Amino acid sequence: MLVLGIESSCDETGVALFDTEKGLIAQQLHTQMAMHAQYGGVVPELASRDHIRRLVPLTQNCLQEVNLSLNHIDAIAYTQGPGLGGALLAGASFANALAFALDKPIIEVHHLEGHLLSPLLSKNKPQFPFVALLVSGGHTQFMSVTDIGEYELLGQSVDDAAGEAFDKTAKLLGLDYPGGAKLAALAQEGTPNRFEFPRPMKHSGDLNLSFSGLKTAVLTLVNQLKEEQQLDTQTIKDICLAFENAVVDVLTHKAKQALKQTGFTELVVAGGVGANQALRQSLSKINAKVYFPELALCTDNGAMIAFAGAMHLKHAHPVGQFSVKPRWALTNTKE
């Protein structure tokens, strides 16, 4: 069975083809990063309009890559939520219209389930059950995953998501949007131990996390250094390193705790912040099998949606009325 996957929840348009026999056979991605950079963040209306422009050519490119035509597609999967309403609608309308025209079934996919299952696209796959650490721009959650579709929330950020904290901290350090990866790159040139930031909720005893206080601690330091005219380039790198250390330390500590609490021996890391090298290194050292998606599959993409769709083929249904779910808990996917 050949599943076309459509992702349009935020600022990336992703299209991919997953073949249940051959695996992932084609994928195309367009990132709107440059378009939004001049505004310092994602402009939802611009995002929706750009998705509309990209969806047809990206789908054509995908099919051309493997010399297939629309008629070869057996089902169409798309991100129904969570995400930006207008951006989701662009992908949902395209997917439903195409499925209607081709008389093929449709499958709604939860964006975070796409992230969570993306390590299963690698050759070295995790085995159920496992703990999933979802770390993206919008979510930071620990989930217990016992099977496809069987997810239980163990804990989550009570305020900012880890990626959001990376991006906001990068912004206040004067780095361009989206600053998470840029902050991480500068951290590599930081001086170890020059600064130390608090580890919010590290010892809260549960699996919840908090990152907004950390961002405020950086802001206070930056303001003080600016007043003293000491915010030079090396100092910014040193702050980046101290910030990254704090996030990585808390996530690693809680990941160990999640494994202990569940008794599971495998940890899957997914979402954009999963691309962070310091986090990868730190989590690789814990006493468990740790799986990361390939770097290209960490951030938003169509492959994870095509794959999640293929895992839910039994839920494929004919096109009818459709809606998007800008807010949607991963534990409610059966609703």
Residues that bind ligand KG4 (CB under 6 A): 10, 136-138, 163, 166-167, 178, 180-181, 184, 271-273, 275-276, 299-300
In the stretch 126-145, what mask flags binding to Zn ion with x, by CB under 5 A? ----------x---------
Name, in order, each residue with C-beta under 8 angstroms of 110's C-beta and a sequence gap of 6 or more. Answer: 79, 80, 81, 82, 308, 328, 330, 333
Minimum CB separation of residue 267 from Zn ion in Å reads: 19
Contact 115, 5 (CB under 8 A): no
In the stretch 284-313, what mask flags binding to Zn ion with x, by CB under 5 A? ----------------x-------------
Which C-beta is closer to ligand KG4: that of 238 or that of 244? 244
The conformation of residue 225, written as its DSSP 8-state character, comes to: H
Rg (CA), the chain: 20
Minimum CB separation of residue 79 from Zn ion in Å reads: 9
φ and ψ at 178, to 5 degrees?
Answer: -85, 125
Q: Which does 5 bind (CB under 5 to 8 A by kind): ligand KG4, Zn ion, none?
A: none
Which C-beta is closer to ligand KG4: that of 137 or that of 302? 137
| CA neighbor of 28 nearest in space, from 10, 48, 8, 44 | 8
Contact 74, 1 (CB under 8 A): yes
Minimum CB separation of residue 166 from ligand KG4 in Å reads: 4
Q: Which does 163 bind (CB under 5 to 8 A by kind): Zn ion, ligand KG4, none?
A: ligand KG4
Contact 334, 110 (CB under 8 A): no
Q: Which does 190 bind (CB under 5 to 8 A by kind): ligand KG4, Zn ion, none?
A: none
The token pair that represents 142 in the structure block:
């620990």
Q: Which does 160 bind (CB under 5 to 8 A by kind): ligand KG4, Zn ion, none?
A: none
Which C-beta is closer to ligand KG4: that of 155 or that of 274? 274
* Tokens 């495998």 sit on residue: 266
d(C-alpha 261, C-alpha 39), whole Å = 43
d(C-alpha 39, C-alpha 176), whole Å = 10
User: Can you give the binding site for Zn ion, defined by CB under 5 A?
Assistant: 136, 300
